[in-house]
Amino acid sequence: MRRFENRVALVTGAASGIGRATAERLADEGARVALLDVDATNGQSATEGLKKNGYDCVFVHADISHEEQVRAAVSETASSLGPIDTLINNAAAFVFRSIDATAADWNHVLSVNVMGTAFCVKHVFPEMQRAGKGAIVNLASVSSFVAELNSLTYSTSKAALLGLTRCMALDLARWNIRVNAIAPGWVDTPQL
């Protein structure tokens, strides 16, 4: 039996890179997968590729920095595939600025990397709570731990994501929902 048989996974930032590879692996392991991304063209292409290989998946177009879009995406996923029990928060804004960062830079990087992740967990949580279990993985970064030149905005957002993960792990443990973060280094993806 495949490890994710009879599971439903929602993967954000799934149109390319780490998110797409994660969605493909989950599907290969038996999960029904929703690929969520703001990039409709590449998101649809990734989803069609999986469907051609016989996998049960859907594309959901959403910008996770907008809570109402997240709520609608979670609802669409559950309606199409069933209750979500796995959430991979991979979507990220790559804003590399230093002290010259504008309010728009800060708003963008924090609204996607921190608030968007929080919105996704908030709206998936009721389904996991009803099921009495769930697994959430947040994609942090080595930048969460290591300062890099001209990366004040991005590194701060990823450090905040670690704090968010720790708090969520404590808050959701009573419902048998695991919350973890992984911190990849530089990965050869289109974003890089």
Rg, the chain, Cα only: 16
Residue 11 backbone class (left: φ over 0; alpha: ψ -120 to 50; beta: rest): beta
Can you list the pairs that 159-165 forms with residues at least 24 positions away whose Cβ atoms lie under 8 Å? Answer: 160/110, 160/113, 160/114, 161/113, 161/114, 161/117, 164/114, 164/117, 164/118, 164/138, 165/138, 165/140
154 is catalytic: yes
**From 154, 158, 164, 179, the catalytic residue:** 154
Are the beta carbons of 5 and 55 closer than 8 angstroms? Answer: no
**Contacts with 82 (C-beta within 8 Å, 6 or more apart), sequence order:** 8, 32
- Length of the chain, in residues: 192
Distance separating alpha carbons of residues 189 and 171, to the nearest angstrom: 33
Annotated active-site positions, please?
Answer: 154
